[in-house]
Amino acid sequence: MENPFGKITTLEKVMEFFHDGMSLLFGGFGGVGSPPTLIDGILEKGIRDLTLIGNDTGFPHIGIGKIVSQERAVKVIASHIGSNPIAGNLMHEGKLEVEFSPQGILSERIRAGGVGLPGILSDIGMDIDMVAKNKPVMTLNGKDYLVETPLTAEVAIIYAKKADEYGNLIYDKSARNNNPLVAMAGDLTIVEVEEIVPMGCLNPEEIITPGVFVDYIIPSKGVNWKWAWE
């Protein structure tokens, strides 16, 4: 029996979707929940000038931080960069543009992008220049709000504990973090998983991300997945 949905593939195959100057949404919180095989593939291909959208810039040698530390990104949209001092240095040297968004607002902007909303209203950060700068303000019922724009990207890369052949996903505790939102907001979504199982093996009540949001599935390094449909 062949792979019935055509979603399960290899790192080499999905690398054709990555190119210099692209926008990239990524899951992960620090290093937890980031897709290591996909990140290493981006580095090995030499992709540069990326716009990265995600919670943070990881650590210098962990998660998305490896891409930032090698100066492969030109812009980051994140809630903080404090765990990666290299990101801070690059920002101060003018080598990395950083757009800060409060963590909850960042998540909502990604969700808005995933569900097709034109934006959200928030009063968070109204008095903080790095948050409010250049953002439109809307008055509603006598109160001012920042108009926060939705976030999408050409490709979204996420990490999950388990997937079936259609791409229904289960996450491992806190490694879930923003991955379900990121999965919704990419024009193309690629998931790296630890285990791939046949259809019907996942408890429907445990599925967090429906497979309709997933375009391609690759196994993490060392995962043997062929048995899933043989």
Per-residue pLDDT tens over the stretch 49-108: 999 999 999 999 999 999 999 999 999 999 999 999 999 999 999 999 999 999 999 999
- Overall average pLDDT of the 16-26 stretch: 98
Percentage of the chain lying above the pLDDT 70 cut: 95
- Overall average pLDDT of the 164-181 stretch: 96
Domain assignment present for 52: yes
> Are 224 and 8 spatial neighbours (Cβ–Cβ below 8 Å)?
no
| Mean pLDDT rounded to a whole number for the chain | 93
Domain assignment present for 188: yes
Domain assignment present for 139: no
The pLDDT of residue 223: 66
Domain assignment present for 165: yes
Domain assignment present for 127: no
**Per-residue pLDDT band at 36 (split at 50, 70, 90):** very high
The first and second tokens of residue 146, run together, are: 């920042």
> Are 37 and 197 spatial neighbours (Cβ–Cβ below 8 Å)?
no
- Overall average pLDDT of the 142-159 stretch: 96
User: What range defines the domain where residue 25 resides?
Assistant: 11-117+150-228
- Overall average pLDDT of the 111-126 stretch: 94
Contacting residues for 145 by C-beta, under 8 A, at least 6 apart? 121, 122, 123, 126, 137, 138, 139
The pLDDT of residue 128: 85
* Sign (positive or negative) of CA dihedral 207, 167, 43, 100: negative
Mean pLDDT lowest among 129-138, 172-181, 191-200: 129-138
**Per-residue pLDDT band at 44 (split at 50, 70, 90):** very high
Find the CATH number of the domain harbouring 172.
3.40.1080.10
DSSP character at residue 150: P
Tally the domains of the chain.
Answer: 1
0.95 cut: is pTM over it? no
Kindly list the distances between the CA atom of residue 181 and the CA atoms of 68, 77, 78, 98, 176, in Å, as whole numbers in the listed order.
Answer: 22, 15, 14, 21, 10
The pLDDT of residue 229: 47
Domain assignment present for 44: yes
The pLDDT of residue 226: 54
209 or 224, higher pLDDT: 209
By the 10 Å C-beta count (0-12 exposed, 13-18 middle, 19+ buried), 27 is classed as buried
